[in-house]
Amino acid sequence: MSTTTERSLLTLQQRADSYLTDERTIWSWLLTTDHKRIALLYFASITAFFFLGGAAAAVMRLNLVTPEGLLVEHEMYNRLFTMHGVIMVWFFLVPAIPVTLGNFVTPLMLGARDLAFPRVNLTSWYLFIAGGVMALTGLAAGGVDTAWTFYTPLSTGYSHGWMMMVCLGIILSGYSSIATGLNFIVTIHRLRPPGMTWYRLPLFLWSLYATSVIYVLATPVLTMAMILLMFERFFHVGLFDPALGGDPVMFQHLFWFYSHPAVYIMILPGFGVVSEVITAFSRKGIFGYKFIAWSSVSIAVISFFVWGHHMFVAGTSIYSGIAFSLLSFMVSVPSAIKVFNWLATLHKGFIRFNAPMLYILGFIGLFTIGGLTGLFVASLGTDLHLHDTYFVVAHFHYIMVGAMVSAFFAGLHYWWPKITGKMYPEIWGQIAAATIFFGFNMTFAPQFILGYLGMPRRYASYDPGYQVLNVVSSLGAVVLAVAYLMPLIYLTWSLFAGKDAPSNPWEATGLEWQTQSPPRTENFAFTPVITGPPYNYPRPEQRQHV
Partner 1 sequence: MSDLVPGEPGAGGYRAAWHSGSDSAAVAEHVGFQYAGIGHQTGTAQAGLWLFLATELLFFGGLFLLYAVDFTRHPGGTLAASRETTLWIGALNSVILLCSSGAYTYGLGLARRGDNRGLFRMVLLTAALGTVFLLLKGYEWYDDIARHLFPGPTFALPAADGGALFWCFYFVATGLHGVHMIIGLVLLAWIGTGARKRRYSSAYYTPVEGVGLYWSFVDMVWITLFPCLYLVGR
User: 259-298: which residues touch partner 1 (CB under 8 A)?
Assistant: none
As a whole number of angstroms, the distance between CA 335 and CA 340 comes to: 9
As a whole number of angstroms, the distance between CA 66 and CA 413 comes to: 38
Pick the closer one to partner 1 by CB: 187 or 406.
187
Rule CB under 8 A: choose which of 42, 104, 204, 257 binds partner 1: 257
Residues 181-210 that bind partner 1 (CB under 8 A): 182-183, 185-186, 189-191, 194, 200
CB of 543 to partner 1, least distance (A): 16
Answer yes or no whether residue 352 interacts with partner 1 by CB under 8 A: no
Answer yes or no whether residue 536 interacts with partner 1 by CB under 8 A: yes
Residues 486-505 that bind partner 1 (CB under 8 A): 503-504
Pick the closer one to partner 1 by CB: 239 or 369.
239
Give the residue from 164, 173, 168 showing the smallest Cα distance to 142: 164
The count of other CB atoms within 10 Å of the CB of residue 158 is 10
Answer yes or no whether residue 109 interacts with partner 1 by CB under 8 A: no
Answer yes or no whether residue 545 interacts with partner 1 by CB under 8 A: no
As a whole number of angstroms, the distance between CA 280 and CA 351 comes to: 9
As a whole number of angstroms, the distance between CA 389 and CA 394 comes to: 9
Answer yes or no whether residue 384 interacts with partner 1 by CB under 8 A: no
Rule CB under 8 A: choose which of 1, 26, 318, 546 binds partner 1: 1
Instruction: Say if CB 109 and CB 511 are below 8 A apart.
Output: yes
As a whole number of angstroms, the distance between CA 98 and CA 268 comes to: 10
Pick the closer one to partner 1 by CB: 316 or 435.
316
Answer yes or no whether residue 528 interacts with partner 1 by CB under 8 A: yes
Pick the closer one to partner 1 by CB: 63 or 176.
176
Region of 136-144, 156-164, 234-242, 310-318 interacting with partner 1 (CB under 8 A): 234-242
Instruction: Say if CB 225 and CB 233 are below 8 A apart.
Output: no
Answer yes or no whether residue 157 interacts with partner 1 by CB under 8 A: no
Answer yes or no whether residue 237 interacts with partner 1 by CB under 8 A: yes
Residues 11-50 that bind partner 1 (CB under 8 A): 15
CB of 124 to partner 1, least distance (A): 13
CB of 301 to partner 1, least distance (A): 15
Pick the closer one to partner 1 by CB: 131 or 534.
534
Rule CB under 8 A: choose which of 16, 26, 243, 318 binds partner 1: 243
As a whole number of angstroms, the distance between CA 367 and CA 6 comes to: 50
CB of 437 to partner 1, least distance (A): 33
Give the residue from 357, 396, 390, 359 showing the smallest Cα distance to 374: 396
Angle subtended by helix axes 426-452 and 355-378, to nearest 10: 10
Angle subtended by helix axes 404-420 and 467-497, to nearest 10: 10
Pick the closer one to partner 1 by CB: 99 or 225.
225
Answer yes or no whether residue 221 interacts with partner 1 by CB under 8 A: yes
Size of the site for partner 1 (CB under 8 A): 74
Residues 297-326 that bind partner 1 (CB under 8 A): none
Answer yes or no whether residue 231 interacts with partner 1 by CB under 8 A: yes
Answer yes or no whether residue 246 interacts with partner 1 by CB under 8 A: yes
CB of 413 to partner 1, least distance (A): 20
* Integer angstrom CA distances of residue 462 from 72, 165, 468: 14, 32, 12
Q: What is the 3-state secondary structure (H, E, C) of 30-85?
A: HCCCCHHHHHHHHHHHHHHHHHHHHHHHHHHHHHCCCCCCCCCCHHHHHHHHHHHH
Instruction: Say if CB 239 and CB 246 are below 8 A apart.
Output: yes
Region of 135-143, 259-267, 392-400, 510-518 interacting with partner 1 (CB under 8 A): 510-518
Which secondary-structure segment (H or E) carries 136? helix 118-141
